[in-house]
Structure 1
């Protein structure tokens, strides 16, 4: 099968019980012993004493049951709504690392898939795999045309094993789901199906190649991100040939320093490109573990392994940005409503009792401890809410959480003093201030206004945060802002700004002066004149009339002898 089809798999194995029995016995043996251990701890009051031991045992079981169960463990490691915290900490340690299979078998797979002899395909190929994972292994080779390539070969009989395991998991989910004390929010069988769909996508190497090219197209204008080229002539569903990447593992600090690679630049590229995937493109790499990211000697960061990807719909991206805006504004009722739209809460959930809990958990995220913010802390805090309130983690957000936590962990392994807000905040502030889409401009207005009043300190904070990024240029942003104010779309904001400048029966010249002092070092007269000309290119008489009150206010704020007018 090219795609996961649970009904077709069920039909196949329903009439072939001999293929099922031995696997069932093996799985039952492992998990019966594990459950017996948990019960024994309860009966002998040793639960706390043996917590770590049982969590480690679960990791051991999943590893020994093979590729499907290793992937299960990795998937569960992002699901605090399903697994208790101590188990989560062990499951995140699971690695895609298994002993390699025989090279002679790998060569036969290559020859069968490509219908050519090894010596006809490659001028040279490594006699042993360079790396082995749960689903396949990689060889280093040279084509006859001279290109150095990585040849990814799928493990033999992989799909039959995955299909059998998924069939048994689905059967077990249907049978045992109602008896398990899990806060799912929906049928456990659907979670198995979500997992199965992604797993089948991951073992389709042609799909992975298409993902790589789409990812490369998204970053075509970003010289800091490298994606290997795909050699389609030598690729099939089970063999993928791609450009060899010369790089250093991000966890190898010694090699990074020896190569004189700017570590801070690599971290910034990783975090910024991760945010771009989520907030701009909606197409993101869901498995950015240390083996899939490399620092190159020229300062670029390379992504490899595009089997596990996902796409966010435009409405999901907008709802995600809305949730961030509500978090910034500390509007927890609206934030709870966004959680319903995003699928973290079901539509019939009574959100009023949840609002105080959200405030308690998230209240200090953007407060004085903002520099201590990290995604791991957020997931840990949310895991505490999962058992008290009917939260669930939608499949897409399970992948997003995994991606963000993994990237943050990588950054911390390179620089223990790394603070994600130092990179993420300037990026988000810059995106809001430039407002290149109507949706982002609307979000900016929502950030700047609360209760109908203009929040001067929020604009100051956004500008200050954006300026902390050395790549941020204020003048183009100012030009975009002026264009927007003079446009038909900006009529609402013009009216709001006039009200803000004159609210409480006074001209808020002090606030304007603070903003001027914040930006005046970046305002060079010649560049300011050029930016103004650009913004005023299509300036109309009606636009001038609309802008006069604003100009008058700015003139007053620039007079050092001015006083607030009542």
Structure 2
């Protein structure tokens, strides 16, 4: 680790943070009991509250805010309440001076602001870690939001990450905790996420893809980018006027039934997860805005999750099992998705899952249980030597944020019943799709190929049976390794017999007079003794240190 003058401030900031938390109850509990249930300890017993941790990360800077958001998907590292606080972690930094904003925009779009826009508000609508948003009007009269990346933010992120990577490398090298919790893997994932968020062209593509996927939902709006005014550091998109969804006026909440809106929001996210495999992965209240016409806008698509086709099927089955409160089926699905250590305890894992599911039965949105339940299951899996894929953590974080939004808009909403209804609808659509002419034609072609090759294959099987050439190959053991083991045993026994014979022969030669003497003893006998000793030492060495 090189302590250059320009790095001292970063190291000082990091060390100040670590000095505060190093000997705290929170860190001690995390490192020793992070994967245990939180029944043995009360939330208020920790010196640092979740809110204090969130504020400290904000003070550390944007890199640490993003790190906190990433840690919210690691139930093996932190207690539930801290995970919930970190999942909703949002940054709010001082705005960039307008002169710098003007310079960045003009450099990126290649023309003066006065030529590109009828108006461009100097005061930002919002200011976050990576950039800030300004309201503007295009020459066409269209109102837009222009997101401008902070100057030098990429270098700042990478410098902070380098500091963290150096510290993580030392932790992994010198501490068991560093190895156990994979600090380097956490930072690699953080680096990947942050580099994606720093590319506004990628975010523009995400907006287009999500808008296309959700076009059937009339109550949901995904602001679309304006390509001619979008670069890697400037993102111009449609302007939507709304408020953070958790800032809705309480009076309006009592006067308006938001259940149909919540239904559509839930269905849209389920579609993203199990049908599209392309998900808005950061749906915290700051990124979900309620518009004046009682529609919802999904904004800030810097962070998206992509699920493979196979993972979509796993998650579909998992959500369906959750909606039925079927603990046994949930455990089966999670085990199908997981990797297991040699000492994994499946029986205990199944027992814990059944208890969790039973305890959460008949809960409503105001209890905010679904996301929390998945996080608890992940912790139980880790505790029992079962490693679930990161996709389950991502799903848990998405549902944790969705729980918060749904609980605010419709406290009595039954999320599991909504999941069950959507799954029925999805399965019906899949069956209809599979009955489409093109799908039936594909099945007919496969059947034709099978029938066409069937007589030839039956002839080959019967011919081999008649000629006694039919063989069944069973790949049960490694025959070569097995026979090599026997050969090694035989070689060792033979060498041991030779050494024993040499020792007996040397002892008999001791009594035979000889003119050839070594150390006052018959020379031939001494040579046999030495050869026997070297053979014995070699045999002992290979048995103790080289045998597998």
Give the TM-score, by structure 1 length. 0.67
Paired position in structure 2 for 1:26? 13
1:401 and 1:328 mapped to 2: Cα distance? 15
Q: Summarize the Cα distance change of 1:222–1:183 in structure 2 as closer, same or farther, 3 Å threshold.
A: farther
1:415 partnered with 2:410: yes
1:104 partnered with 2:116: no
1:307 partnered with 2:302: yes
Contact 2:323 2:417 in 1 (8 A): no
Residues 208-254 of structure 1: CA deviation (Å, up to 9, x unaligned): 00011111111233333222121111111110000111334322332
2:146 and 2:241 mapped to 1: Cα distance? 15
Contact 1:183 1:391 in 2 (8 A): no
Contact 1:184 1:392 in 2 (8 A): no
1:93 and 1:175 mapped to 2: Cα distance? 30
Paired position in structure 2 for 1:401? 396
How do 1:65-464 residues align onto structure 2 when only pairs under 5 Å count? 65-177=60-172, 187-254=182-249, 257=252, 262-324=257-319, 335-336=330-331, 338-343=333-338, 345=340, 349=344, 351-363=346-358, 374-379=369-374, 381-382=376-377, 385=380, 388-392=383-387, 394-436=389-431
Q: Summarize the Cα distance change of 1:328–1:207 in structure 2 as closer, same or farther, 3 Å threshold.
A: closer
Q: Summarize the Cα distance change of 1:303–1:164 in structure 2 as closer, same or farther, 3 Å threshold.
A: same
Contact 2:331 2:350 in 1 (8 A): yes
Q: Summarize the Cα distance change of 1:267–1:355 in structure 2 as closer, same or farther, 3 Å threshold.
A: same
Contact 2:193 2:303 in 1 (8 A): yes
Contact 1:59 1:90 in 2 (8 A): yes
Residues 171-210 of structure 1: CA deviation (Å, up to 9, x unaligned): 2222213666769877331221112111111111000000
Q: Count matched residues.
A: 430
Instruction: Give SS of 2:246's match.
Output: coil
Instruction: Give SS of 1:53's match.
Output: coil
Q: Deviation at 1:139?
A: 0.2
Q: Deviation at 1:116?
A: 1.4
Instruction: Give SS of 2:231's match.
Output: coil
Residues 136-178 of structure 1: CA deviation (Å, up to 9, x unaligned): 1000000111110000001111111111122222222222136
Contact 1:201 1:307 in 2 (8 A): yes
Q: Summarize the Cα distance change of 1:266–1:203 in structure 2 as closer, same or farther, 3 Å threshold.
A: same
2:358 and 2:212 mapped to 1: Cα distance? 39
1:180 and 1:47 mapped to 2: Cα distance? 28
1:393 and 1:335 mapped to 2: Cα distance? 13
Q: Summarize the Cα distance change of 1:110–1:184 in structure 2 as closer, same or farther, 3 Å threshold.
A: same
2:179 and 2:337 mapped to 1: Cα distance? 15
1:152 and 1:315 mapped to 2: Cα distance? 36
Contact 2:72 2:83 in 1 (8 A): yes
Q: CA RMSD in A?
A: 3.8
Residues 94-148 of structure 1: CA deviation (Å, up to 9, x unaligned): 2222222222111111111122122112110112101111211000000111110
1:185 and 1:429 mapped to 2: Cα distance? 41
Q: Summarize the Cα distance change of 1:207–1:437 in structure 2 as closer, same or farther, 3 Å threshold.
A: farther
2:51 and 2:110 mapped to 1: Cα distance? 45
Instruction: Give SS of 2:22's match.
Output: helix
Q: Summarize the Cα distance change of 1:41–1:340 in structure 2 as closer, same or farther, 3 Å threshold.
A: closer
Contact 1:282 1:314 in 2 (8 A): yes
Give the TM-score, by structure 2 length. 0.69
Paired position in structure 2 for 1:458? none
Contact 2:133 2:148 in 1 (8 A): yes
Q: Deviation at 1:287?
A: 1.0
Residues 384-439 of structure 1: CA deviation (Å, up to 9, x unaligned): 6256323455433333222111112111112222221242221123223454378x
Residues 487-526 of structure 1: CA deviation (Å, up to 9, x unaligned): 99xxxxxxxxxxxxxxxxxxxxxxxxxxxxxxxxxxxxxx
Structure 1: runs of 5 or more not aligned: 1-13, 442-478, 489-566
Residues 23-78 of structure 1: CA deviation (Å, up to 9, x unaligned): 11221122123214449999xxx998651535444323211111110111112123
Alignment match of 2:56 (pick from 53, 61, 65): 61
Structure 2: runs of 5 or more not aligned: 30-40, 445-548
Instruction: Give SS of 2:218's match.
Output: coil
Instruction: Give SS of 1:294's match.
Output: strand
Contact 1:81 1:184 in 2 (8 A): no
Moved more, 196-205 or 425-434: 425-434
Paired position in structure 1 for 2:466? none
Q: Summarize the Cα distance change of 1:246–1:259 in structure 2 as closer, same or farther, 3 Å threshold.
A: farther
2:188 and 2:28 mapped to 1: Cα distance? 33
Q: Summarize the Cα distance change of 1:179–1:379 in structure 2 as closer, same or farther, 3 Å threshold.
A: farther
Contact 1:41 1:47 in 2 (8 A): no
Paired position in structure 1 for 2:478? none
Contact 1:227 1:302 in 2 (8 A): yes
Instruction: Give SS of 2:148's match.
Output: strand
